[in-house]
Structure 1
């Protein structure tokens, strides 16, 4: 079984089947509806925040242009349940997240020609990737700024309370749990 996006649970347009052998290695990408999430429109907005929540229920991604960054992110107390519908969401009912996703790496990379090979054609950018890369004028004012990267881990707690002894009114909390991940990225890319 491969993972399948539930398009009704996100605002982006998904490639619904994540099986790399079926879709020419483009994976389960999402085409973001907002052109303000990258390129010149992103730059004009002063950059923005990309946030990902990954737990046993789903992997969800949001993008916010600078003026629309939720206050809880700015304050360092992120609450994804307040952010509305994510741009991309892979729910556990369509994918065994624990089976297919592990050892997550956050990679900052400018990969020309895209490692998946097919993203440029659907990006809305003019011409072909080859034409853009062959023109040195496209790199005269190139810059990339990362203001911060924050990773929040939430310890999920489960357990029981056992009395230490009948004589002492104290207790021991026996815990077990998992980890939820929330990463926020604030930056700008100008080409």
Structure 2
């Protein structure tokens, strides 16, 4: 999951060393942002894919009771009650290794769950919203009560082998 502020649409992104590209045409439901995954280009935007579902992130995702994500170089997102892998269909995002040797660009992975306040992406978009007080850093430093509802609530995190 990747997004900022009250963005409604999730984005899946790979951030790599140089020479990792994604094909322009891929079988996926989402919309690609960039084809190059290199962190030194496009201000570290990576090769992202915006999900097609408006309720895959943020307040709309929460209002729907959350959901689940499956990741295997493709990302699939559905409502919590929809767990039949045989009916998953076209992934929202797909990252084939056609033009990117995953063995040279990725080490063993870890799941990192965090709320990055005022990071590269969130910090640069903060002032673009309407009614945002102060700077992002000042808002965080002087308004601790604004973050009482800033948390994740996971029923579980599971690893499956297919």
* TM-score computed with the length of structure 2 as normaliser: 0.68
Segments of structure 2 that go 5 or more residues without pairing to the other structure are: 1-18
C-alpha change, 1:121 and 1:33, in structure 2 (3 Å) is farther
Greater Rg over alpha carbons, structure: 1
- Verify the 8 A CA contact 2:67 2:78 in the aligned structure 1: yes
- Mark the runs of 5 or more structure 1 residues left unpaired by the alignment: 54-58, 73-78, 155-191
Distance 1:41 1:120 in 2: 22
Question: Does 1 or 2 have the higher relative contact order (CA < 8 Å, sep 6+)?
Answer: 1
Question: 1:32: how far off?
Answer: 2.1
1:141 aligns with 2:149: yes
| Alpha-carbon offset, residue 139 of structure 1 | 2.0
Please give the residue correspondences for 1:114-125 in structure 2 after superposition, counting only pairs within 5 Å: 114=119, 117-118=120-121
CA contact (8 A) 1:26 1:119 kept: no
Which structure shows the higher strand fraction? 1
Deviation at 1:91, TM superposition (A): 0.8
TM (norm. structure 1) is: 0.59
Match of 2:106 in 1: 101
Whether the 8 Å contact between 2:68 and 2:79 is mirrored in structure 1 is yes
Supply the distance in 2 between the matched residues of 1:3 and 1:132 (Cα, whole angstroms): 34
Give distance in 2, aligned partners of 1:34 and 1:120: 24
